[in-house]
């Protein structure tokens, strides 16, 4: 993966916030991102598919839910860039993360 490819993949608000949230929580379900970003499932899934296609994320199906995490084969420089960028820009995605935490605390189930 080249820097140009990574930055193109992350150049959308939904994709960038999704990656930051996934990086912060290590793993999230599609429904978690729907809650955090206040978006419908098809839109979230479309952006996650793009991130998978770029090699930024990998997914794992567990029953009817799909969980996402940063790709294990993501180059170290890319992982470090995402981590540092997220750490230095928490206001950019903190509202979405707060929505997710509030929804998780209010729910009896761990996911969806």
In a domain, 107, yes or no: no
pLDDT digits (tens, 9 = 90+) for 73-111: 999 999 999 999 999 999 999 999 999 988 888 876 555
- Give the CATH number of the domain where residue 35 resides: 1.10.10.10
Please check whether residue 96 lies inside any domain of the structure. Answer: no
Condensed to tens digits (0 to 9), the pLDDT of residues 17-27 reads 999 999 999 99
- Residues 6 or more apart whose Cβ sits within 8 Å of residue 75: 1
Please tell me the predicted confidence (pLDDT) of residue 82. 97
| Domains of the chain: total | 1
Contact yes or no for 43/14 (Cβ under 8 A): yes
In-domain check, residue 23: yes
| Average pLDDT for 60-80 | 94
Query: Model pTM?
Result: 0.90
Give a yes or no: residue 81 inside a domain: yes
Tens-place pLDDT, residues 28-47: 999 999 999 999 999 999 99
| Local structure of residue 1 (DSSP, 8 states) | -
Query: 50 is in which domain, residue-wise?
Result: 3-91
């Amino acid at each position: 993966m080249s820097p140009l490819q990574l930055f193109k993949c992350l150049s959308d608000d939904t994709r960038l916030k999704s990656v930051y949230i996934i990086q912060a929580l290590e793993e999230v379900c599609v429904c978690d991102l729907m809650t955090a970003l206040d978006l419908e499932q098809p839109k979230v899934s479309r952006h996650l598919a793009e991130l998978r296609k770029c090699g930024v994320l990998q997914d794992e199906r567990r029953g009817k839910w799909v969980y996402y995490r940063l790709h294990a084969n993501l180059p170290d420089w890319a992982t470090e860039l995402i981590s540092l960028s997220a750490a230095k820009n928490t206001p950019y995605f903190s509202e979405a993360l707060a929505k997710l935490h509030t929804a998780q605390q209010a729910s009896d189930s761990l996911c969806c």
